[in-house]
C-alpha cells in the first residue's frame, strides 16, 4: 500500500508508442499457451486490483461487517470481557500481519525498533482508550444511535486542528456540524421515547433509561478519546515516518500487553464468568466473531488504502459519508433496533450531515490546490484513514 494519491485520474503512456505496441503484439504471438494463460490471469487480477467500484464495495463491506460483528459479540446479556475481547483482536491482527510478511505478501514492514516503540507507546495508550470506550458504547447503544453520535467526533477533531495545527472551519462545515448535533439530539429523544414505551424489552422503563445513560456516558468518553488519538497520531506520525503496515503493527503489538493486564486486573477470569460470557448455544459464533474482528481490522486498513489509491481522497471521503446509511440500516436489520419516526429522522439527518461535511472538505481541498504552494507532502493511506476515523 503506497502513499495517498491526490489526483482523480492518471494517464499512462507507454515509452515505446506504436513501436511498443508492435513489440507487445509480437511477444504475445511468441508466448507459449501456458505462459499466455498465466499472463491473462495476471491481467485479470490487475484489473480487479485497479477497479474503483470493487474497492468501494470492499471498503463499505469491511466497515459494515466490523460494526455488526462488534455489536454481536458485546451484546450478550452477561458480557463483561471487553478488554479480553480487544486483546484477542490485537493478537489475531499481529498473527495475520506476521503470516503475511512470512509469505511475502507484506514487503514494506520495517523490523521492530524499540526506540520507535517507546515513542509510539503513548499513542497506543490513546488507542486503548478509544477502542475500549467504543465497545462499551456499542454494548449499551443501538448501532444507528452509535453511528449518529460518532459524528460528534468530527466536530471535536475539527476544532482540535484549529487549536493545535492552525486549521480552519468553513461556513459549510459549520452547517454540517449543526446538522450533526441536531441528529444526535433527535436520536437521543427517539431513544428516550422508545425506552419509556418499553421498546427495548425492559419491563421497567427506569432500567432502560439506566442502560441508555450508561451508553451516552461511554459515547461521550469515546468522542474525546477518539479525537485525542487522531490528533495525537497526526502529530507523532510525521516524526516517525511510519508507513501503512508500520502503524498497524506497532498499534496492535503495543496494545496487547496493556489490554491483557487491564483484563487481568479489571475483569473476572473465573470459569463461571467465562461460561456466562460464552454460553454453549452461541460460543462458537462468538469465538468466530472475535477472530473475524481481528482480521477485519487489517481488511479495513487495506481497503481504505485501496480505495484511496484507485479512486481519490475525495471519493474516499464521500464513500465514508455515504457509508453511514447502510451501517445504521444494518443495526435495524440485524439487531431489531426500534424503528420510529424519530429514529429514522435522526438517521436521515445524520446521513445528510455527513454528505455536507464531505462536500465541505472537498471544496476546502480544491481551494487549497488552487493556492500556493501547489505541492503538498504525501500522506500515507493509514494517516488519511486515521484522520477520517470519525467517518467510519
**Does residue 234 contact residue 165 with C-beta atoms inside 8 Å?**
yes
Domain ranges (residues) in the chain? 53-367
- The predicted model gives 6-16 an average pLDDT of 37
- What sign results for the dihedral spanned by CA atoms 90, 95, 100, 104? positive
Per the CB < 8 A criterion, the answer to whether 87 and 260 are in contact is: yes
Buried b (16+ CB within 10 A) or exposed e, 292-328: bbbbbbbbbbbbbbbbbbbbbbbbbbbbbbebbbbbb
More confident residue, 368 or 366: 366
User: Given this model, what pLDDT does residue 384 score?
Assistant: 40
**Grid coordinates standing for 267?**
475483569
Using a pLDDT cut of 90, give the percent of the chain over it.
21
Interaxial angle between packed helices 171-197 and 341-370, expressed in degrees from 0 to 180 and rounded to the nearest 10: 160
Q: How many helices (H) and strands (E) does the chain have?
A: 16, 0
The predicted model scores a pTM of: 0.77
Cα–Cα nearest to 390, from 344, 323, 296, 343: 323
The pLDDT value given to residue 151: 85
Task: Quick: pLDDT tens for 213-262.
Answer: 899 999 999 999 999 988 888 788 777 777 767 888 898 999 999 999 99
Q: Which of 39-43, 90-94, 307-311 has the highest mean pLDDT?
A: 90-94
Residue 314, phi then psi, degrees to nearest 5:
-65, -50
**For 289-343, how does the pLDDT look when each residue is reduced to its tens digit (9 = 90+)?**
999 998 988 888 778 778 877 876 667 777 777 787 888 888 777 777 777 888 8
Phi, psi of 98 (to 5 degrees): -65, -40
DSSP one-letter string for 143-184: HHHHHHHHTHHHHHHHHHHHHHH-----HHHHHHHHHHHHHH
Amino acid at each position: 500500500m503506497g502513499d495517498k494519491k491526490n489526483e482523480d485520474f492518471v494517464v499512462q503512456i507507454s515509452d515505446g508508442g506504436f513501436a511498443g505496441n508492435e513489440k507487445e503484439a509480437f511477444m504475445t504471438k511468441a508466448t507459449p499457451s501456458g505462459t499466455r494463460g498465466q499472463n491473462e490471469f495476471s491481467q485479470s487480477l490487475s484489473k480487479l486490483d485497479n477497479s474503483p467500484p470493487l474497492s468501494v464495495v470492499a471498503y463499505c463491506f469491511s466497515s459494515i461487517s466490523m460494526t455488526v460483528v462488534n455489536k454481536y459479540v458485546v451484546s450478550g446479556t452477561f458480557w463483561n470481557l471487553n478488554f479480553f475481547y480487544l486483546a484477542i483482536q490485537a493478537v489475531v491482527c499481529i498473527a495475520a500481519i506476521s503470516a503475511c510478511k512470512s509469505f511475502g505478501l507484506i514487503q514494506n514492514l520495517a523490523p521492530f525498533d524499540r526506540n520507535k516503540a517507546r515513542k509510539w507507546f503513548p499513542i497506543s495508550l490513546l488507542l486503548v482508550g478509544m477502542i475500549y470506550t467504543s465497545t462499551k458504547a456499542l454494548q449499551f447503544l443501538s448501532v444507528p444511535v452509535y453511528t449518529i453520535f460518532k459524528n460528534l467526533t468530527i466536530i471535536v477533531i475539527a476544532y482540535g486542528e484549529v487549536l493545535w495545527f492552525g486549521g480552519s472551519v468553513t461556513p459549510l462545515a459549520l452547517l454540517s456540524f449543526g446538522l450533526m448535533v441536531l441528529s444526535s439530539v433527535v436520536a437521543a429523544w427517539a431513544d428516550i421515547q422508545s425506552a419509556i414505551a418499553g421498546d427495548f424489552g425492559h419491563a421497567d422503563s427506569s432500567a432502560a433509561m439506566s442502560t441508555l445513560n450508561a451508553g451516552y456516558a461511554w459515547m461521550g468518553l469515546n468522542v474525546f478519546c477518539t479525537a485525542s488519538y487522531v490528533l495525537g497520531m497526526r502529530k507523532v506520525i510525521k516524526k516517525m515516518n511510519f508507513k501503512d503496515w508500520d502503524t498497524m503493527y506497532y498499534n496492535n503489538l503495543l496494545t496487547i500487553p496493556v489490554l491483557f493486564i487491564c483484563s487481568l486486573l479489571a475483569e473476572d477470569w473465573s470459569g463461571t464468568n467465562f461460561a456466562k460470557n460464552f454460553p454453549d448455544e452461541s460460543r462458537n459464533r462468538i469465538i468466530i466473531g472475535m477472530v473475524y474482528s481481528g482480521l477485519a481490522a487489517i481488511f479495513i486498513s487495506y481497503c481504505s488504502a485501496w480505495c484511496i489509491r484507485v479512486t481519490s481522497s475525495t471519493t474516499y471521503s464521500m464513500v465514508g459519508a455515504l457509508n453511514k446509511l447502510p451501517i445504521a440500516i444494518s443495526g435495524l436489520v440485524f439487531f431489531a433496533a426500534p424503528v420510529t419516526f424519530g429514529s429514522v429522522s435522526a438517521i436521515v439527518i445524520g446521513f445528510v450531515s455527513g454528505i455536507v461535511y464531505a462536500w465541505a472538505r472537498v471544496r476546502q481541498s480544491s481551494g487549497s490546490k488552487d493556492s500556493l504552494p501547489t505541492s503538498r507532502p504525501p500522506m500515507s493511506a493509514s494517516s488519511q484513514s486515521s484522520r477520517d476515523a470519525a467517518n467510519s
